Amino acid sequence: MRSQQPDDLVMPSNFIRAVREAGYVSVSTALAELVDNAIEAQASEIFVTVTRSESSGLPQIEVEDNGVGMDRIELSDCLRFGGSSRFGGKGSFGRFGMGLPSASLSQTRTIEVTAWQGDSPALMVSLDADDIASGRPANLTPIVGIRGGTDSGCRVVWRDCDRIEYQRLAWLEKVLHRDLGRMYRRFLVGKLRLTINGKSVEPVDPTLLTTVVNGTSAHLAIEPLRYEISVGVVDTAFVTVRFSMLPVSSWHALDNATKRRVGIVGRGGVSILRAGREIANGWHLMGAKRKENYDDWWRCEVEFDPVLDEHFGITINKQGVRPSRALREALEPELESIARMLNNRVRQSFEEVKFRAAAADSCRIAEMADVDLPVLTDPGSSSGPIRYEIRSSQMPIDSMFQSDFHQHTLTLTLNVDHPAFSALYKPLQEMQDQSSSEMRTALELLIISYSRATLQVGADGGDVLRAWSATYGRMLQRS
């Protein structure tokens, strides 16, 4: 065993043990380092294979790409800590040359890297953590390896993955599909094809802007925001922030299993993208705003370029952010204000859902009574039974309610800011007995009948009053 020299900066046996505790939070974040490298190498196809080792029974993961590959010198350096040719660069995924060796050793004890270019033979290097821990020096001299099926490319094999917590490979595959689909969603909607055991990884968009359920999807809550941040003495760079709003009225009634599958619950908060790749998700840059259940129904996406790494406090393994004071001061006040606004908007949407559900009985009674009332003509549609809808919303203070007759549907929107709403509706909503339900129905039929009467006879006040009285009486009889 080689004795430690006084001027040695690192004790290899202890260092390799420490690297195995590098802090990768999951196999997905560790594997992402390999996917990053493949994308950096201009790969358009990345093939992940998950199997079980025949010798140990532990999981084994292989990542092969069709990128530009590596020459002999690059290959011999790729498993050295800090051996990146892009060390310190701020225009790409990697910066420090720590990703491949540290991510690999966090999951496995044995790494093999094979690369090939053009007509040259494939070359391979390997690293065995047990050998180094026992004091044997690493041998990173390339030897002849086995080519892949492309003109150029690279293959990384993690043998005997002793740190992977999933005992069933099917669960491991499922988690990798979900996590990698989210991390690389921007690339997967482009030219990149990523497969796991032959099955394509589909993009997972936490903003749900591209997810269609019941014919609807999320929408941008406001126009995207851009913040100019100082970099160094004279340069600046931009941070782009997008907020999306989920359709409460369309999705609130989905069953819990569907909500989890779609990502309505469990994926809320802020997604942070560096160079188009997600590096963090959670509750970031929201100031003093604490996360509530309503906050699942809106999303935030923050995107920046690697030149802003120091401002975002990017870690070596790209698994989180530690925003600088300058960045927080630039973003948090407005983002917190928007978060509170969207939380309030979600609350109102759920109140509207409950309001419309409670008003459904009155609308049904009005539709039953409609067959006994004079026919109303709607220039925009054919004749037939009228449908009724009652909604609530904020409107100018002088309007108690508004009505709209379109496509044979009479829609009444009650003004939640009008004194009548507080005087009549709020007491009824707080009462939960049968009498309050009957009183609410009578009130809503009163308003429906007035709106219908105005459509029936026009603007003459006396005629409207008589028509309203007759219509309201008929509706009450039906109730």
- What's the maximum distance between 2 C-alpha atoms anywhere in the chain? 108
The CA distances from residue 19 to 8, 10, 98, 285, in Å, are 18, 12, 10, 31
Flag whether pLDDT at 146 surpasses 60. yes
Q: Pairing between strand 235-245 and 225-231?
A: antiparallel
Q: Pairing between strand 298-304 and 269-274?
A: parallel
pLDDT score at 91: 53
More confident residue, 88 or 143: 143
Flag whether pLDDT at 152 surpasses 90. yes
Phi first, then psi, for residue 110 (nearest 5°) are -130, 125
74/72 Cα distance (integer angstroms): 6
**285 CB-near residues (< 8 Å, 6+ apart):** 270, 302, 323, 327, 328, 331, 332, 335
Could you give the domains of the chain?
12-200 (3.30.565.10), 219-346 (3.30.230), 373-478 (no CATH)
Give the long-range contacts of residues 306-309, CB within 8 A, separation 24 or more.
306/89, 306/90, 306/91, 306/92, 306/93, 306/95, 306/274, 306/275, 307/90, 307/91, 307/231, 307/235, 307/237, 308/229, 308/231, 308/237, 308/239, 309/90, 309/95, 309/274
Mean pLDDT of 175-200: 96
Mean pLDDT of 348-375: 87
Task: Answer whether 415's CB lies under 8 Å from 400's CB.
Answer: yes
What tokens were used for 448? 């429906």
The CA distances from residue 432 to 149, 427, 436, 441, in Å, are 70, 10, 6, 13
The CA distances from residue 397 to 92, 253, 347, 412, 446, in Å, are 54, 32, 21, 16, 21
Nearest to 98 by CA among 86, 110, 82, 114: 82
Would the CA dihedral through 124, 128, 129, 131 be positive or negative? negative
Express each pLDDT in 439-451 by its tens digit: 888 888 988 888 8
Q: What percent of the chain has pLDDT over 70?
A: 86
Distance of CA 114 to the CA centre of its chain: 35
Express each pLDDT in 46-55 by its tens digit: 999 999 988 8
Classify residue 285 by burial, with Cβ atoms within 10 Å: 0-12, 13-18, 19+: buried
pLDDT score at 57: 87
> Whole-number mean pLDDT of the chain?
85
